[in-house]
Structure 1
């Protein structure tokens, strides 16, 4: 039985959790919902229904710390509903970080292990170990990023590695880079960045956006008195090339932390203080001219009325999600300058900060059976 165009149009507007139940209605619906063309159409129809994927650390009834992933949905009246995700694998630990999201697929890693997961379908894939060695020493990930290559219609994970020998990092060892292709389920080595410095494992900063992954870069010595040179390292998922972007120079990198975000499809840089007695949060917008030369302009400064640990992400052009120092999620309205505490809490872990990570998330039916699936997004 052929499914009518009207039914296809209706089904493509429904959330994945409903469609997964509807697979059992009849064989034709089962075939349709598994069809890569329908999955692609459903994804495209879902782009206007963005949610927030929130990572936090909680304590269970036995006193054990656990990683919690939740999907937040904001209603028109700005109330929030929370859907917790049951992770389908056992190797997870509280210190896994979100290393990118693309088309409903999320990458989680603690540097030793990496997983791809679709939280909606509970499909996951554990990535194979590194293929890189150096004088018999073990490879250790220095930075990792996940994204989508639109040219080859393929999900990729890029990993920069160094090497351990006798329980110490071999600082003289070369930085090497490998890429995992979901469609082939294997790693391959590519050329390392040609410039000095290296990407830093900074989960609160790292971000994937429109085909490019961004890391915080460090390691180059400064000639002047300001300390180390800091920059943003980029990786184009399609061209498989690295780049480097300078950051605004008008702040003291010894007194401030930074993270990236997106506002109206533009990259923004959050600059906020280490010290709790300083509260200003500066937001800079990145711009490129016709020659792709990058410049920064300050958009606004936020002066919180209470302690803010870190900004998380813009959920709209006016609303910024933030983490408070006492472990709550705060919504800030840039237009009205009002703060609202949301009914979402994280676990205070000693003096550790950045308990939350957040990214905009699109629910999808995209499969992790990469060898068998070909999507045209």
Structure 2
């Protein structure tokens, strides 16, 4: 009996929903599959079509090296035992590095010793050249906050940094770098003020980088707090109002992005009675703020200052919220139809202080491919030499 032949468009739709590792192996099936999977447009479509669960990535910093490790979120949600699902290190770094953010399968890292940025696609074993230095160790400068994201209009991956100098004459300056180019450029008219409550890594959503900035004088007061949004294409900024609160003063606002690419913000109640999460269903539209859930204080874990150290990391379609009350434990809260809690489960283990959501992808811009030749032999050894056929 002759084998069934699928139409070309059906094959494409099937491949778009496969994980990256399978696609890398299936390039050996035939020339058409190889060309298709290697097509940059296919890689972009795969980012939008992939149904694979993301990973929770962190940096394990040692004395002489830094390991980039990942935890499959699906396994964490279904089996609260991280040791069973932890992956080996993405790569080893002999220098202290921090993770700025992840977008389209690319992770942005900052080397604090060299004051440079670099991109990596761990799934493709690719990396970019390092960015030019922001400053040298003799400049007496520091980064107040930064962010990494994607300009879809111009197909550019960019990192923004707000740099403060100890010299009064230089003050604070905002600069931006486009990966693949040679120099940093200055951003004019950006509100680069110092804010001790600011989370220095901006959140990327809908072509913008976002931070919560407190414009008031009182610390931990959100009466004057707003979301500062920077457009990566136009290099302009705007302010987005936070949701209306249930009381006059809500503490410790935290900004993050949900799994369906929506801005979310959480608050502590000033009387330490509960913790609340809001979601902006339509980006930039203040009227679309919707209260997602409320968790009583006694169900959270606080530090010695009696502050709710909660950080929402992931929300699934079934409204499962993954939280990090402190750096040693993850907690999963499952919601019912009334936004109440059905139950919670704890995931034990020692996790890094800062965790990021990472989606594997085939994205490999031209300026990333320069390292592909060096990794070709290594990738063949990992994937195996056996060809796969239908």
- Length-normalised TM-score, structure 2: 0.71
What's the offset of the Cα at 1:270?
0.9
Once the 2 structures are TM-superposed, how far is the Cα of residue 316 of structure 1 from its aligned partner? 1.5
Distance 1:32 1:72, change over 3 A: same
State how many pairs are aligned: 344
- Aligned-partner SS, 1:366: coil
Residue 110 of structure 1 deviates from its aligned partner by 5.3
Equivalent in 265, 268, 272 of residue 264 of structure 2 = 268
**Cα distance in 1 for residues equivalent to 2:208 and 2:45:** 23
Instruction: Report if aligned partners of 1:123, 1:368 keep a CA contact under 8 Å in 2.
Output: no
| 3-state SS in 1 of match to 2:37 | helix
Aligned to 1:144: 146
* Contact 1:141 1:159 survives alignment (8 Å): yes
Contact (CA 8 Å) 1:200, 1:217: kept in 2 or not?
no
Partners of 2:221 and 2:249 within 8 A in 1: yes
TM-superposed deviation, 1:214: 0.9
Quick check: 2:329–2:349 contact (8 Å CA) kept in 1? yes
1:89-104 counterparts in 2 under 5 A?
Answer: 90-93=93-96, 96-97=98-99, 99-104=100-105
Q: Paired residue for 1:232, among 205, 227, 231?
A: 227
Aligned to 1:305: 299
**Aligned-CA RMSD value:** 4.1
Contact 1:258–1:270 (8 Å) recurs in 2: yes
Counterpart for residue 55 of structure 1: 58
Unaligned runs of 5+ in 1: 164-168, 348-354
After TM superposition, the structure 1 = structure 2 runs for residues 73-222 of structure 1, keeping only pairs within 5 Å, are 73-74=73-74, 78-79=78-79, 82=85, 84=87, 86-88=89-91, 90-93=93-96, 96-97=98-99, 99-109=100-110, 112-130=115-133, 137=139, 139-163=141-165, 169-171=166-168, 173-184=170-181, 186-193=183-190, 195=191, 197-198=193-194, 202-203=198-199, 206-218=202-214, 220=215, 222=217
8 Å contact from structure 1 (residues 141, 160) kept in 2: yes
Match of 1:22 in 2: 26
* d(CA) in 1 for partners of 2:218, 2:312: 33
CA distance in 1, matches of 2:345, 2:224: 37
1:33 aligns with 2:37: yes
Q: Flag the structure with higher helix content.
A: 2
Hey, what's the Cα distance between the residues in 2 that align with 1:344 and 1:224?
Answer: 33
- Secondary structure in structure 1 of the residue aligned to 2:356: strand
Match of 2:362 among 361, 365, 368: 365
Gapped regions of structure 2 (runs ≥ 5): 1-5, 303-308, 371-390
Question: How far is 1:227 from its partner?
Answer: 9.7
SS at match of 1:74: helix
Partner residue of 1:280? 274
Give the 3 Å change call, closer, same or farther, for CA 233–24 of structure 1 in structure 2: same
Asked whether the 8 Å contact 1:282–1:301 carries over to 2, the reply is yes
Whole-Å separation in 1 of the counterparts to 2:155 and 2:281:
28
Q: What TM-score do the two structures reach when normalised by structure 1?
A: 0.74
- CA distance in 2 between partners of 1:263 and 1:211 (Å): 16
Q: 1:257·1:273 contact (CA, 8 Å) conserved in 2?
A: no
Is the Cα–Cα contact under 8 Å of residues 156 and 179 in structure 1 kept in the other structure?
yes
**Corresponding residue for residue 350 of structure 1:** none
Cα displacement (A) at 1:228: 9.5
Counterparts in 2 of 1:77 and 1:293: CA distance versus 1, 3 Å: closer
**Deviations for 1:42-83, whole angstroms, at most 9, x for unmatched residues?**
22321x434143325477xxx878454314242698347735
3-state secondary structure, aligned to 1:96: strand
- CA drift of 1:251 comes to 5.7
